[in-house]
């Protein structure tokens, strides 16, 4: 009987903790990206920066903050995971018909996932990766 109780408590904890503490969902890549976008939409750049590998948004070209008040809704799903790297696809929607799918790259740091701004930028702007590689050589 103690085993059954332990299993039930574990299931409840896994189910309820993300609901009670929504900012703590970043143990999964899609949760991290959702939290990152929500923080940007709310204008909480400090919280958003804390969800990134870089810890700084100053050079990030993402336009999430500009979507605040636009009536946008979104959901996120993990498309690929390999070891400590994941690609998350965010499905943005406006009104009845407009939609856009945007990918973000996450990296695992310990037990937490964080948005990799550099890799996300390079995914969005492939020429940026080439320019960075040329600068390094």
Domain residues for the domain of 98 are: 22-136
User: Across the beta sheet with 73-82, what order do the strands follow?
Assistant: 73-82, 85-94, 98-109, 112-115
The structure tokens 């929607």 sit at 93
Give dist(CA 51, CA 49) in Å, integer: 5
Residue 126 in domain:
yes
The pair of three-digit structure tokens given for residue 8, joined into one six-digit string: 């039930």
Q: How many residues does the chain have?
A: 137
Tally the domains of the chain.
1
Residue 41 in domain:
yes
Residue 70 in domain:
yes
CATH of the domain at 36: 3.10.450
- Is residue 15 scored above 50 in pLDDT? no
The per-residue pLDDT of the chain, averaged, comes to: 81
Per-residue model confidence as pLDDT tens digits over 85-96: 999 999 999 987
Per-residue model confidence as pLDDT tens digits over 51-79: 999 999 988 888 898 898 888 999 999 99
Give dist(CA 98, CA 78) in Å, integer: 22
* Confidence (pTM): 0.75
Residue 49 in domain:
yes
Residue 30 in domain:
yes
């Amino acid at each position: 009987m103690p085993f059954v109780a332990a299993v039930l408590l574990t299931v409840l904890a896994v189910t309820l903790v993300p609901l009670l503490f929504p900012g703590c969902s970043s143990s999964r890549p899609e949760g991290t990206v959702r939290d990152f976008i929500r923080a940007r939409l709310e204008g909480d750049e400090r919280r958003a920066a804390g969800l990134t590998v870089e810890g700084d948004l100053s050079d990030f070209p993402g336009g999430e903050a500009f979507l605040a008040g636009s009536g946008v809704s979104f959901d996120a799903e993990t498309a690929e995971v390999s070891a400590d790297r994941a690609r998350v696809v965010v499905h943005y929607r406006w009104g009845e018909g407009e939609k856009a799918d945007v990918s973000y790259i996450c990296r695992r740091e310990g037990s937490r996932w964080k948005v990799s701004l550099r890799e996300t930028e390079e995914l969005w702007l492939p020429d940026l990766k080439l320019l960075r590689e040329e600068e390094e050589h």
